[in-house]
Copies of this chain bind each other. A is one copy, B any other.
Amino acid sequence: MSLLVIGSVAFDAIDTPFGSTGKIVGGAASFISLSAAMLHNQVGLVAVVGDDFDFNFIDSLKQRGVNVDGLQVKDGEKSFFWHGKYHMDMNSRDTLVTELNVLGSFDPIIPESWQQPDYVMLGNLSPQVQLTTLSRLTRRPKLVVMDTMNFWMDIAMDELKQVLQKVDVLAINDEEARQLSGEHSLVKAAKKIQAMGPSTLIIKKGEHGALLFGEEQIFFCPALPLEDVFDPTGAGDTFAGGFIGYMARSGSNRFQDMKKALLYASCMASFCVEKFGTERLQEISMDDVNNRLEEFNKLIRVD
């Protein structure tokens, strides 16, 4: 089952109470595709970078089995750059710098061999680019999952609502769900958001786990309690990558299988926060994943 991932591949600079990085690789699609490729072997990436990018990272994506035929490299242009600073609690952060660069004029060209994917993960991008992506697919995928952020709710709500009508699953965080719905209660928020289009909603609550709403049911998956959270950047994207990676591997779009996918999602995210950026995701093996899934089973199994 082919899985198309679209989103930013970019540079981040991250300040935390425990240290700062220089420019390192970040971007939603970097985390999503690394995470999904750990679980599934037919992942294709559509993204854009400038010629300043770190192409060793692209090599490491290839080594993980990610097809990068859809990666555009813009000569003489610079890659998207975000610089953020985390507060002491590691939950809240300030954006210090955002440079759109190549992302400002991103035209999501999809290689012909990737125009009929079975699964699609629309990483956080402008709703317009998400819509264009879907319009260029020549067959309805089995499952389309999207992410978005508050920023697009502020400036492009109409287009965002158009995308929502075309996707199966929306995966956003609790703050975003509250803003999108205008409801504080996540149960009420979920009902309103499901009425906007997606039959299934995932609300990510960071260290407090994630809720899955669908088929008149709610499922909850905790985050793994960790001694230290080193860098939360990309954890939500890694979570989404784990979710859709598992779904693509299982070949399913059923709610029942999404529960297990949520465990994989939370498992992958628990690695992401252990080091800066994509570092930890690049070094783990399937053995590490399986051992951690065992920890999740202990965490949630009553019997």
Contact = CB atoms under 8 A, between A and B. Distances in A.
User: Range of interface residues on chain A?
Assistant: 20 to 34
A226 B187 contact: yes
Nearest to A222: B220
Q: How many chain copies does the complex carry?
A: 2
A259 interface: yes
A188 B299 contact: no
Contact of A227 (B187, B205, B220, B260): B187
Interface of A: 88-89, 184-188, 205, 208-209, 211, 217-220, 222, 225-229, 259-260, 263, 298-300, 302
A188 B88 CA distance: 16
A298 B228 CA distance: 31
Contacts of A187: 225-227
A227 B302 contact: no
B222 A188 contact: no
A203 to B, nearest CB: 9
Contact of A298 (B188, B219, B222, B299): B219
B299 A227 contact: no
Contact of A185 (B185, B217, B227): B227
28 contacts: A88-B184, A89-B184, A185-B226, A185-B228, A185-B229, A187-B225, A187-B226, A187-B227, A188-B227, A205-B208, A208-B208, A208-B209, A209-B222, A217-B298, A218-B225, A218-B298, A218-B299, A219-B298, A219-B299, A219-B300, A220-B222, A220-B225, A220-B300, A259-B302, A260-B302, A263-B302, A300-B300, A300-B302
